[in-house]
Structure 1
Amino acid sequence: MSLQLAPTARYRKDYKPPSFNILSVDLQFYLHDTNTRVVNTMQIERQVEGADLVLDGEKFELVSVVLNDTPLVAGQDYQWSETALTIYNAPEQFSLTIENKINPSANTALEGLYKSAGVFCSQCEAEGFRFITYFLDRPDVLAVYTTTIYAPDNGEYPYLLSNGNKLAEGKTENGLHWAKWHDPFPKPCYLFALVAGNFDCLEDSFTTAEGRLVQLQLFVDKGNLSQAGFAMASLKNSMAWDEKRFGLSYDLDIYMIVAVDFFNMGAMENKGLNVFNAKYVLADPASATDQDFINVEAVIGHEYFHNWTGNRVTCRDWFQLSLKEGLTVFREQEFSADMGMRAVNRIQDVRIIRTHQFEEDAGPTAHAIRPDKVVEMNNFYTVTIYNKGAEVVRMLHTLLGEEQFQAGIQEYISQQDGKAATCEDFVQAMEKVSGKELIQFRRWYSQPGTPEISISSCFKRRNKTFSITIAQASDKPSNAPFHIPIKVEFITASGESIHPPELAENGLIELTEPIQTFDFTGFNEAPVVAPLANFSAPVKLTDHRESSELITITRYATDPFLRWDAVQQLYVQALKDAIEQNAEVALPSALIEALQAALLDNHADPAMTALLLQTPSEEGLATEFHSIPVEGIERVVTELHALLSRALHDELIAAWQRTSAQYVASDIAGRMLSNTCINFLSSRHNSEQVAQAISQQFAAKQSMTLVFGALQAAVHNEHPLAKELLARFESDWCQAPLVMDKWLAVQATTRSAHTLERVQLLMAHPAFNWGNPNRIYALLASFSHNFSQLHRADGAGYRLLIAAIKRLNTANPQVASRLLSPLLKWQRLDTTRQALLRELLTELRAMPNLAPDLFEKIEQSFAD
């Protein structure tokens, strides 16, 4: 038996510019289900003397190689392997034509060119273009593309789409029709796109600030046109917002979005032709929740904003991925905040950082936002690269202010337009326009981990001075001190906000040393310090403040995040105390009173009230422990939910009656509170009033938000109505796959002792499909985040997930890798669970042909 070779790591320090550059590429595709022919003609020039031309290419059949009209001879003029084509003795400038054949129908990994559900579709980021044809598959090779697509003229593929502007279309004498596209802007091959199929098309237009009339086309599966209107409106809002906020306008004559159901990612920003997972396009009130609408708007915006921050300016290498993704997530977050509820959006962003990104920082796959090493590029698409990357950009915005930050963006784009840039280029642009030295700030790009800060204070009544001392530490001992922007509020016990003259207008303190003291004057009494307003830095605050201080912040802080955060800290303190003392969960009476008052306040923001009532999840609470007490976490989270259900029952009923009486499309905040209330109330199984409330809300057919909120509350609280509502929901929506994803997910996330067995049954249900990532994410990825059931003491949760990963190892390794991530914290579990997971991961590691995506993560978990 042959020994399987371990995949090879790549290092950022080893970057070298390409030995050749591809100036232009002319692609011809002759589409066929199993035998698509690709003719690739490249104009190439040498960059380095003496080097052979080595092109990337995998998993297709090579037909011919022609250099300057001369056919090349295998073994003499070129050599090929499973992963590369090497051309010997290439001249300084030349034309190279390669013909090859691929099988799109066999491409279950959905990377490269594939055919699913009757549609030809491509996905090339990060390194998928090498599955289409031989090429220099790296982001710093930018070429001008012309693409001609031929397909049978039989009505199956009326739309033949690619990047750029359409030059021509027509029919051939042998029964084919064709379309020719040209993208005038040089781009890396990961931004190439091809789609062919039969769709419904929603058309509109947008006139840019420069007067360019842009044709807008949104393609969806037949019969889904009525659900495309919100996505189109979101696109137009994105285009207008980017002009107003960032001064950036669209640059082609057409902008297209295609929604497909078989797609590994959320969406892809291919130049002029965005390919979307249908779940981030299709939305109407009857079939999509408010959160679905918010997600559609955010992802539409994200991919559009990439036109400048990702496409016109791209990455030099994949280690710079956060250059485009972190910046574009920040832009997306600002767009969503300007379009919706800024405070709510910010808190939702923070929840992702604290629950998922901090956990990633604490685990074996921890990496900086600009990593130094990688085995499999697809593993780079992490919450660290995206969400922490956005927080780093946000810190720059905080340090520089809006005006200087925008000037920095303009400097960055003007200097790097049409180029492949680095994170250093971005920071240098910010330094140049602001005059602010950011040498220490660069550590956010190179150092992994989550900084931890602690705060102590001293009040001197005689001279009315108040001092705070802030210390920073790191969970990674080798890290040097970070440059941390900390926004603070000072609040008196009576609720007065104090702004001392020494404090910057925006409340900003800049922590640069391991420990620093800041002095302030004008205080008659010691105030309560409320740090990290608007979550001004992705750090942990480790000091244990008194409950009275947190209650003061909850009542009086002007920053909404600070109020929410204070309540979260009170919850976490109560939960941790209950675990450590093996006692029942208890909350301060003042917190209960504050929550009661918020529920009864007709003038309070319902969305903020709902967020104050959102208790820590099991998964979120686990991030508070180095050694994770699984049973303890399950117990206290259940107890806290029951405690609040009892203590707030009357107020929850009153708030639910106030917010659930009538559906109004714009009342997202009201529905947030309604769903929060019904979730708590559903734990009261013997109340006829609660049963009626659940039934009434479930009957709100005009609003999926309310319907699904009632279903989720009943199922997650194991209310007697749950079984009936699940059956009715299935009957109503069995023909709508995206809605049935919610039905699968709500059952997979239930904390019932029978959930695992239910998931096993659902894997055989018609609504589930092993070939469709959306179905796998809905059922199995949802289960992987069901903390107590994944970590069942008998190991059944681990075995279920590992079996799914083995099945997907070769079929779709990207999806398999995502399912693996929640198992990588195994060394923080108790010895019994550690032994179970070590055995299963060792068995997985020994699989023949283990995907590099999985190999890299398993090796990291063992090395930690």
Structure 2
Amino acid sequence: MKFLSDYRAPDYTFDSVSLSFDLGENVTSVRSSILVVPKSSVPLVLDGSNLKLVYVKINGLEAQDVELTSSNLTLLAPPKNPFKLEIGTEIYPLQKLNNDEGLYYSSSNGYFVTQCESAGFSKITFYQDRPDVLAKFTVRIEASKDKFPVLLSNGNLVESGQLDNNDKHYSVWSDPFPKPCYLFALVAGKFEARQEKFTTRSGQLVKLNIWSPSEDVAKTEFAMAVLKSAMKWDEDVYGLEYDLDNFNVVSVPDAFMGAMENKSLNIFNAKFLLVSQWTSTDADIQFLMGIVAHEFFHNWTGNRVTCRDWFQISLKEGLTDFRELEFLSDMGCRSVRTIAAASSLRKRQFQEDSGPFAHPVRPASYVEVCVIHLLNSYGLCSYHGAQVIGLYQTLLGKSGFLKGFKLYIERHDGHAATCEDFYQAMCDANLDDLSSFMLWYTQAGTPCLKISSFYNPQASTFTVKCRQETAPTPGQADKSPLLIPLAVGLLNSQGRDIPLSRVLVDGIESSPTVEHNESTGAITALLRTEHEFTFLDVKEKPVPSYLRSFSAPVRLITPDLREEELYFLFANDSNDFNRWDAGQRIAKSLILDMTTSFQNGQELTTPLAYTHAIKTILSIPTLNKEFVALVITLPDDKELLEMTEVADPDACHFVRRFLIKCLATELKQDFMRVVKENRSSEPAFEFNPESKGKRDLKNAALYYLASLNDKETLELACEELDNATNLTDLLGALSAISQNPGQEREKILASFYEKWKHERLVVNKWIHLQTSADTPNNVELVRQLLHHPCFDPRDVTKVSALLGGFFSCIFNFHAKDGSGYEFMADFVIEVGKFHPKVIFNPMNPAKLCLSLLF
């Protein structure tokens, strides 16, 4: 067990590292030369596993007093002054001893690639494998020119050429910026590059290369455009320039981690980097925009300033996630991005916080570093960490946040930092102590904010009373109040925002922070368990809009807010996030009430008020279409079941399907109009906010219509399938058709596979679509797919597609007959041996339904 409180600075630092690789599929030799600077006289313990030690030298002489174990190489009596440490090792790539960590050879694709975060470097050579040991790296790579014509590593290419009397060639790379070993990278194989250039604002010319197999080069055009946009945005918004002569990105078919921010050499799984209208959906492209920008943004927030230890991983990942979200918001619709981020956090982190796996954003302990890293990689620290970083901007304003960020970079460039370091920079830059803010990092659980209100017509005042509570979590029975920024808007009877220029906070008048351009409203900071504030000059009783733009990651309880007021907010709120949230709260309450009626044997009826509200939303032409698509999408089974005391997946699923058909029946003509009005009209495929919004809305409407399972809607769905000009519309139509079991469905799915079976990424979508289907007894179909010619248990993308889809369907995974659990057990036993970490992803607690497990 590792504890944050046990942290000690390294007893030895490394000033510079020279690495030399002689790459071979059977045997790869690695030689390292390290300039070691002692800070104490204790033994030097180096990490290393699955390595054959060839030699150890100190200042050119064979080292004495060396102890070797299965996980460490220890120098028992190293010199007291700086010394040169040389180590020779051999590794055996074809034996695949390291579960895709360290230096990995893909025998099916013929390339070498590394994965060193979090502890993979010690499977390449013996080293202090910890993030607070930073050194400047020089790397020499030798390999067969025929097999591995492209040799890449971090930094600038300083030398390359052919080796004398040999079929081998070499390249030498030098990175002038100190980095931890988890950011080391090497790639060798047959790749071709899309090459472009970028000129920084100071005039430095940067060569940009996106490497991929030759057949995929055409699919890297969009990724290159995103990369250049991210580089420009980082300069414009944060004042950060790229710092080397080149920036390399590599697309490989089977990179386990998905994407990795290695200094100047980002490595991506192909499915996250390659784009074409027939192999990528809009969601894929949106994800690509985020992940390409994210990995580039790590150049400063993660690489130039790294984290001191893995307890601080939410600092580099949370901060970079926040920067990614801001980038996507500036590139598209901010409210849609806010909804997506908040929705993800609620479904994942909030759920985990309510169960036995609750942990702080920065855990105080962990058993294995791979566990805390996997939790972060799957968003359980980084998403929450991003929201916590966003609190700084909400509390200090954007200019205050940027001042603090600039100071943080200036203070810690070239060093390893902590969450406290970032907090202190924010405080010092803004002359504000941000009292109790660090509790967001150390206290587990989701704060619950209960709000009541009172309007005084005689005094024209509106008083808001807030009480915050955080439920006990394992190991933390007592909770302290957090610093919570609460954004509030007040709507008059016409649905317009009431100006909020004066407020009494605990009886003292002050001016609230107001950002009218984002319809944020007044922001008041809550510091204690209970708070009261009163808005002045409110001439009529308002309808309050709380927690606008998801101003803090908290659960909101508003017992005073009546159903008709939620409908009023759904129709009128100027804050898009709160408008969407009002609709979701109405839908959840409606479905849960109908579920109770269904369980009691009562007849279900069409909810006319909700139907009318959706009809109204569909009729407003000025609304962002991407936003409207989110508004008309019902909460999923998992969200609904988490709100019930006794979970009943079958009843909940039946009622949700019933409501979908009710809306489709009552609004059939409206949905037909939406489909026809939003068909693609561009001569060529385009990805932009407007085009994406049209496709999102059209496919949401088509799904409703296809639920009717009549001749007219089936013909419409088939027409959309036949006329689709991109994968988004193709899968949108296929998904609509697939919700109705029967021979026609099976015929269309089989035809789709025959047409697209040569496109690996499309086949993965086909697998996911079927395994995620909520049709009854779908477990048998999933089992059949295990034996389909397209499925390979050794292919990580196929496993993720099948398992991820199945686990996303609460109805079938939690089937009452236990068939879902039985399949899970069989699958883990059979396939888990190939990809144990991939199995963890869909099975992690944040993706399951805890109310059905505990």
C-alpha distance 15-571 of structure 1, shift in aligned 2 (>3 A): same
- Which one-letter code corresponds to 2:103 in the other structure? L
Is 1:238 the counterpart of 2:247? The answer is no
Shift of 1:78: 0.9
C-alpha distance 592-254 of structure 1, shift in aligned 2 (>3 A): same
- Which one-letter code corresponds to 1:712 in the other structure? S
SS at match of 1:718: coil
Is 1:31 the counterpart of 2:23? The answer is yes
Partners of 2:138 and 2:213 lie apart in 1 by 27
C-alpha distance 367-317 of structure 1, shift in aligned 2 (>3 A): same
Verify the 8 A CA contact 2:486 2:546 in the aligned structure 1: yes
Q: What residue in structure 2 maps to residue 48 of structure 1?
A: 40
SS at match of 1:797: helix
Map 1:350-499 to 2 at 5 A.
Answer: 350-380=342-372, 381=376, 382-476=378-472, 477-499=477-499
Shift of 1:768: 2.1
SS at match of 1:148: strand
Partners of 2:288 and 2:75 lie apart in 1 by 45
Q: What residue in structure 2 maps to residue 165 of structure 1?
A: 156
Q: What residue in structure 2 maps to residue 858 of structure 1?
A: none
SS at match of 1:692: helix
Out of 795, 799, 804, which is 1:776 matched to? Answer: 799
Is 1:620 the counterpart of 2:639? The answer is yes
- Which one-letter code corresponds to 1:432 in the other structure? D
Q: Deviations over 1:248-296 (max 9, x none)?
A: 0100000000011112222100000000111111001122111111111
- Which one-letter code corresponds to 1:621 in the other structure? L
Is 1:205 the counterpart of 2:197? The answer is yes
Out of 240, 244, 260, which is 1:248 matched to? Answer: 240
Partners of 2:306 and 2:846 lie apart in 1 by 33
Out of 545, 558, 566, which is 1:530 matched to? Answer: 545
SS at match of 1:245: helix
Q: What residue in structure 2 maps to residue 99 of structure 1?
A: 88
Partners of 2:420 and 2:590 lie apart in 1 by 44
Verify the 8 A CA contact 2:641 2:647 in the aligned structure 1: yes
* Unaligned runs of at least 5 residues, structure 2: 504-511, 516-521
Q: What residue in structure 1 maps to residue 328 of structure 2?
A: 336
Verify the 8 A CA contact 2:642 2:851 in the aligned structure 1: no
* Unaligned runs of at least 5 residues, structure 1: 1-8, 835-864
C-alpha distance 103-557 of structure 1, shift in aligned 2 (>3 A): same
SS at match of 2:242: coil
- Which one-letter code corresponds to 1:677 in the other structure? A
SS at match of 2:828: helix
Out of 822, 839, 843, which is 1:816 matched to? Answer: 839
Q: Which is further off, 169-178 or 593-602?
A: 593-602
Q: Which is further off, 241-250 or 262-271?
A: 262-271
Map 1:536-551 to 2 at 5 A.
Answer: 536-544=551-559, 545-551=561-567
Is 1:89 the counterpart of 2:77? The answer is yes
TM-score (norm 2): 0.93
Shift of 1:603: 3.4
Q: What residue in structure 2 maps to residue 650 of structure 1?
A: 669
Q: What residue in structure 2 maps to residue 670 of structure 1?
A: 694
Partners of 1:333 and 1:755 lie apart in 2 by 36
TM-score (norm 1): 0.92
Q: What residue in structure 2 maps to residue 125 of structure 1?
A: 117
Verify the 8 A CA contact 1:355 1:623 in the aligned structure 2: no
Verify the 8 A CA contact 1:622 1:633 in the aligned structure 2: yes
Partners of 1:682 and 1:487 lie apart in 2 by 40
Q: Which is further off, 200-209 or 341-350?
A: 341-350
C-alpha distance 827-407 of structure 1, shift in aligned 2 (>3 A): closer
Out of 209, 231, 256, which is 1:264 matched to? Answer: 256
Is 1:60 the counterpart of 2:51? The answer is yes
Out of 108, 112, 125, which is 2:102 matched to? Answer: 112
Q: Deviations over 1:161-206 (max 9, x none)?
A: 0000011111222321111111110000000000001012100000
Q: Which is further off, 755-764 or 264-273?
A: 755-764
Q: Which is further off, 40-49 or 563-572?
A: 40-49
SS at match of 2:274: coil
Shift of 1:744: 0.6
C-alpha distance 643-496 of structure 1, shift in aligned 2 (>3 A): same
Q: Which is further off, 280-289 or 300-309?
A: 280-289
SS at match of 2:844: helix
Verify the 8 A CA contact 1:805 1:819 in the aligned structure 2: no
For the aligned residues, what is the CA RMSD? 1.8
- Which one-letter code corresponds to 1:23 in the other structure? D
Partners of 2:822 and 2:478 lie apart in 1 by 36
Verify the 8 A CA contact 1:805 1:817 in the aligned structure 2: no
Out of 555, 559, 562, which is 2:575 matched to? Answer: 559
Q: Which is further off, 795-804 or 413-422?
A: 795-804
What count of residue pairs does the alignment treat as equivalent?
817
Partners of 2:73 and 2:814 lie apart in 1 by 46
Is 1:516 the counterpart of 2:493? The answer is no
Partners of 2:422 and 2:63 lie apart in 1 by 43
Shift of 1:683: 0.8
Partners of 1:751 and 1:708 lie apart in 2 by 16
Partners of 1:374 and 1:21 lie apart in 2 by 25
SS at match of 1:684: coil
Verify the 8 A CA contact 2:617 2:628 in the aligned structure 1: yes
Q: Which is further off, 497-506 or 432-441?
A: 497-506
- Which one-letter code corresponds to 1:162 in the other structure? S
- Which one-letter code corresponds to 1:111 in the other structure? E
Q: Deviations over 1:299-348 (max 9, x none)?
A: 10000000000000000000000110000001001101111122211111
Shift of 1:630: 2.6
Q: What residue in structure 2 maps to residue 591 of structure 1?
A: 610
Q: What residue in structure 2 maps to residue 632 of structure 1?
A: 651
Q: What residue in structure 1 maps to residue 508 of structure 2?
A: none
C-alpha distance 241-824 of structure 1, shift in aligned 2 (>3 A): closer
Q: Which is further off, 365-374 or 320-329?
A: 365-374
Verify the 8 A CA contact 2:435 2:483 in the aligned structure 1: no
Verify the 8 A CA contact 1:261 1:772 in the aligned structure 2: no
Verify the 8 A CA contact 2:641 2:851 in the aligned structure 1: no
Q: What residue in structure 2 maps to residue 178 of structure 1?
A: 170
Verify the 8 A CA contact 2:136 2:179 in the aligned structure 1: yes
Q: Deviations over 1:20-59 (max 9, x none)?
A: 111111111111112111111111111122x101101111
C-alpha distance 570-48 of structure 1, shift in aligned 2 (>3 A): same
Identity rate, percent: 35
Partners of 1:220 and 1:48 lie apart in 2 by 46
Q: Deviations over 1:221-242 (max 9, x none)?
A: 2201111100000000000000
Partners of 1:826 and 1:705 lie apart in 2 by 28
SS at match of 2:549: coil
Partners of 2:238 and 2:439 lie apart in 1 by 26
Verify the 8 A CA contact 1:584 1:639 in the aligned structure 2: no
Q: What residue in structure 2 maps to residue 859 of structure 1?
A: none
Q: What residue in structure 2 maps to residue 297 of structure 1?
A: 289
Out of 754, 771, 781, which is 1:731 matched to? Answer: 754
SS at match of 1:628: coil
Q: Which is further off, 326-335 or 698-707?
A: 698-707
Partners of 1:734 and 1:26 lie apart in 2 by 46
C-alpha distance 772-363 of structure 1, shift in aligned 2 (>3 A): farther
C-alpha distance 626-70 of structure 1, shift in aligned 2 (>3 A): farther
Verify the 8 A CA contact 2:714 2:737 in the aligned structure 1: no
Partners of 1:69 and 1:152 lie apart in 2 by 29
Partners of 1:587 and 1:508 lie apart in 2 by 39
